[in-house]
Amino acid sequence: MVRIKRFWVLGIAMVAGLFLFAACGGGSESTQAPSPTSVPAATSSPSSTGTPSGQTTTAETPAPATGDEPTGTVTGYTWQLDTIDTNGAKPSIAVDGNGVPHVAYMLEAMPGFVKYAIPNGDAWDITTISTGYFYGPLDIQVGGDGIPQISYHDHDNEDAAYAVLVDGQWQVETIGHPGHDGWDNNLAIDSSGRPHIVSIDPSQFGSCSGVEYATFDGQSWSVESVGSGPEPYEFGSFVALDSKDRPHVVWFDDGEKDLKYAINDGNGWAVSTVESQGDVGRYASIAIDNQDNPVISYYQPDGDSSGYIKFARWDGAQWDIQRVDKLENVFTGFLGARKTSSVVLDADDNPIVAYSDEDVVKLAVWDGSQWLSETAFTSNGTPWGQQVSMGIDEDGVLHLTFADVSAKSSPGVRGSVMYAKGTPGARLAVSDPSSGETSSSQDSGGKQTSGSSATGQIEPDPDWERNLQSVRFDPPDLDHRF
x/- site string to Ca ion, residues 164 to 203, per CB under 5 A? -------------x-x-x-------------------x--
Nearer to Ca ion, 85 or 201 (CB): 201
Nearest approach, Cβ of residue 385 and Ca ion (Å): 26
Q: From CA 35, how far away is CA 170, in angstroms rounded?
A: 44
Question: Please, how many CA atoms are within 13 Å of residue 307, restricted to the half-sphere of its CB?
Answer: 27
Secondary-structure percent of the chain, ordered helix, strand, coil, rounded to 5: 5, 45, 45
Q: 158 in the Ramachandran plot: left (φ > 0), alpha (ψ -120 to 50) or beta? A: left
Q: From CA 330, how far away is CA 340, in angstroms rounded?
A: 9
Q: What is the DSSP letter of 75?
A: S
Residues 252-291 close enough to bind Ca ion by CB under 5 A? none
Nearer to Ca ion, 24 or 147 (CB): 24
Listed ranges 1-9, 152-160, 382-390, 421-429: which one lies at the site for Ca ion (CB under 5 A)? 152-160
Q: From CA 230, how far away is CA 253, in angstroms rounded?
A: 9
x/- site string to Ca ion, residues 200 to 219, per CB under 5 A? -x------------------
Contact between 231 and Ca ion by CB under 5 A: the answer reads: no
Nearest approach, Cβ of residue 116 and Ca ion (Å): 24
Among 96, 154, 158, 289, binds Ca ion (CB under 5 A): 158
The amino acid that residue 367 corresponds to is D
State the DSSP string of 243-299. TT--EEEEEEETTTTEEEEEEE-SS-EEEEEEE-SSS--EEEEEEE-TTS-EEEEEE
Listed ranges 2-10, 34-42, 159-167, 464-472: which one lies at the site for Ca ion (CB under 5 A)? 159-167
The amino acid that residue 145 corresponds to is D
Contact between 108 and Ca ion by CB under 5 A: the answer reads: no
Nearest approach, Cβ of residue 174 and Ca ion (Å): 8
Nearest to 138 by CA among 403, 354, 381, 328: 403
Nearest approach, Cβ of residue 17 and Ca ion (Å): 16
Handedness of CA 47, 48, 52, 55 (dihedral sign): positive
Nearer to Ca ion, 181 or 437 (CB): 181
Nearer to Ca ion, 16 or 126 (CB): 16
Using CB atoms within 10 Å of the CB of residue 134, give its burial: 0 to 12 exposed, 13 to 18 middle, 19+ buried.
buried
Nearer to Ca ion, 231 or 292 (CB): 231
Among 96, 108, 139, 159, binds Ca ion (CB under 5 A): 159
The alpha carbons of the chain give a radius of gyration, in whole angstroms, of: 21
Nearest approach, Cβ of residue 15 and Ca ion (Å): 20
Nearer to Ca ion, 159 or 253 (CB): 159
Contact assessment for residue 159 and residue 174, using Cβ atoms and an 8 Å cutoff:
yes
Nearer to Ca ion, 133 or 402 (CB): 133
Nearest approach, Cβ of residue 158 and Ca ion (Å): 5
Nearer to Ca ion, 179 or 294 (CB): 179
Q: What is the DSSP letter of 363?
A: E
Nearest approach, Cβ of residue 74 and Ca ion (Å): 45
Size of the site for Ca ion (CB under 5 A): 6
Nearest approach, Cβ of residue 198 and Ca ion (Å): 12
Contact between 315 and Ca ion by CB under 5 A: the answer reads: no
Nearest approach, Cβ of residue 296 and Ca ion (Å): 25
Handedness of CA 140, 141, 142, 143 (dihedral sign): negative
Contact assessment for residue 265 and residue 474, using Cβ atoms and an 8 Å cutoff:
yes
Nearest approach, Cβ of residue 179 and Ca ion (Å): 4
Q: Which helix (H) or strand (E) holds 402?
A: strand 398-404
Nearer to Ca ion, 148 or 179 (CB): 179
Contact between 96 and Ca ion by CB under 5 A: the answer reads: no
Nearer to Ca ion, 181 or 258 (CB): 181
Summarize as ranges the residues that interact with Ca ion (CB under 5 A).
Answer: 158-159, 177, 179, 181, 201
